[in-house]
Amino acid sequence: MDEMLGNHYFLARNYARAADLLEKALRSDQKNKAIRRKLIICFAETGHVDKALTVFLSLIKEDIDFIINTDPVDDDCPCPELVYDMEHWNVNTCQSLDTTVVLGMLWLFCNLHKSFEYFTQAANMDKNDKMIKSILALLNVRQQEENARV
């Protein structure tokens, strides 16, 4: 019930309410990748970047393709619009580390290489962040795999 209602709020773009319900649903089904994928977006959009990053790292360690292969239409993924708004809203301002990390997470739903670029920027902004370094390493491996297929 919590997942269904959480999905409803997610579709309505009420990320705060969706996050509450999806977190409850995740307690009952901790391996549910679809819930975790939505929670990344909910947490990022409600300013809980650390929570989003924790879920993001866990999910890409387990199955990075689950995020990469997201279909914006079929999965009703708001990331293209969210990225557009963030990039254009911040165009004349200095991006914070949190904004850069959020853009890195959101871009992975659409474009691996753009995600890698943002996480590279984030790593340069905070050279001691082990989580960002771990994410960057995973993205680098995935890019190399993709390049080897070409």
Tokens, residue 51: 């929570």
Of 47, 40, 11, which Cα lies nearest the Cα of 23? 40
- The pLDDT, as a whole number, for residue 94 is 59
Write the DSSP symbol of residue 26.
Answer: H
44 in Cβ contact with 106 (< 8 Å): yes
Distance CA 30, CA 116 (A): 27
- The pLDDT, as a whole number, for residue 93 is 54
CATH of domain 2-149: 1.25.40
In three-state secondary structure terms, 120 is helix
Report pLDDT digits (tens) over 18-60: 999 999 999 999 999 999 999 999 999 999 999 999 999 999 9
Alpha-carbon distances, residue 22 vs 29, 39, 69 (angstroms): 10, 7, 21
* Confidence band for 147, pLDDT divided at 50, 70 and 90: confident
Report pLDDT digits (tens) over 65-86: 999 999 988 888 899 999 998 8
Domain ranges of the chain: 2-149
Full-model pTM: 0.92
Distance CA 22, CA 15 (A): 10
